[in-house]
Amino acid sequence: MRILTVAVGLAALFAASGPVLRWQAIADDVDACRRASSEEAIAACTRAIDSGRWHGAGLARAHNSRGTAYYSKGDYDHAIADYNEAIRLDPKYPFAYNNLANSYRANGEYDRAVANYSEAIRLDPKSVAGYYNRGNAYYGKGDKGRAIADYNEAIRLDPKSAYAYRERGLAYLYGGTLAKALADFGQASKLDQKDAYNALWVDIVAQRNNVPSRLSQAISKVDMTAWPVPVIRMFLGQMTPADVLAAADDPDATKKKGRVCEANFYSGELALRTGEKDVATRLFRLAASDCPKTFDEWLAANAELKALSVTP
């Protein structure tokens, strides 16, 4: 997955705010606001905001943190409201612009996303997240040239950014430059050997370049107890697509939606590999319909359908 949100905590501001004992309850809320899971974080951030203790930049950071908690549960409208409030309180707060743009991109509003990423970059020209995320927004618009230019800049600023290499690899892959795509996915995997998605994409692109699979060796440092390991096992012939779909189930609805998206997309990739184009088309259509728009798999599913000359 695949976007870089920025949640700046309030601890540093709190440390200078007054006697610790007097403000212990607020301190607890501040800590939970920046550390807790979404529902608890939303409640804690709200208490911190409503305490009246925070003003200006401090209050902006509280709204930014609550926006990130809303974003994590897929509540983009509330996230947008909080990020806009953070910007109103502190118009020179680049992280809030970045996160606001993430929410617009999740809604498919790419022009608004690009505009806010651009403002984040203007305020912080060395923001790797800004360039990386704006590249994703350009890619979502179908402007692979500008996307690649932004990924190039993210890589220049941080040559160890595995995310930037992977996203540039996707742009090269669906732009028809397979050799460059394989090189970028290989570099992403080298930089982050624990990331299962890097290993999966190396295998997908290697197959298209007629390079033998090294998936079984590439996963030596991957946590084989966590998602998306069922997808890896499917590619290794150890699980069926039905098994992977069953393994995608989760009591957290947001997490389940993402996993089902990935189960359908990667099952489609496997079907495409074995020549089952009708099956692949059906699965890619499911992914294009149901995947969050911030997922690589949503972009890739639409690109695969275009390559198959069918509509999403």
Mean pLDDT score of the chain: 90
Say what the pLDDT of residue 32 is.
80
Higher pLDDT, 27 or 291: 291
Q: Which CATH number fits domain 1-159: 3.50.50.100, 3.40.50.720, 1.25.40.10, 3.10.50.40?
A: 1.25.40.10
Of the chain, the percentage scoring pLDDT greater than 90 comes to 81
d(CA 102, CA 90): 18
Residue 262 in contact with residue 283, Cβ under 8 Å?
Answer: no
Q: pLDDT per residue over 72-121, tens digit each? A: 989 999 999 999 999 999 999 999 999 999 999 999 999 999 999 999 99
Beta carbons within 8 Å of 284's beta carbon, 6+ residues apart: 264, 265, 268, 301, 304, 305, 308, 312
Q: pLDDT per residue over 246-272, tens digit each? A: 999 999 998 999 999 999 999 999 999
Say what the pLDDT of residue 17 is.
44
Please tell me the pTM assigned to this model.
0.87
Say what the pLDDT of residue 96 is.
96
Q: pLDDT per residue over 202-220, tens digit each? A: 999 999 999 999 999 999 9
d(CA 254, CA 301): 19
On the question of a cis peptide bond just before residue 228, with omega within 30 degrees of 0, the verdict is yes
d(CA 308, CA 279): 12
Residue 206 in contact with residue 215, Cβ under 8 Å?
Answer: no
Domain ranges for the chain: 1-159, 227-312
d(CA 80, CA 110): 14
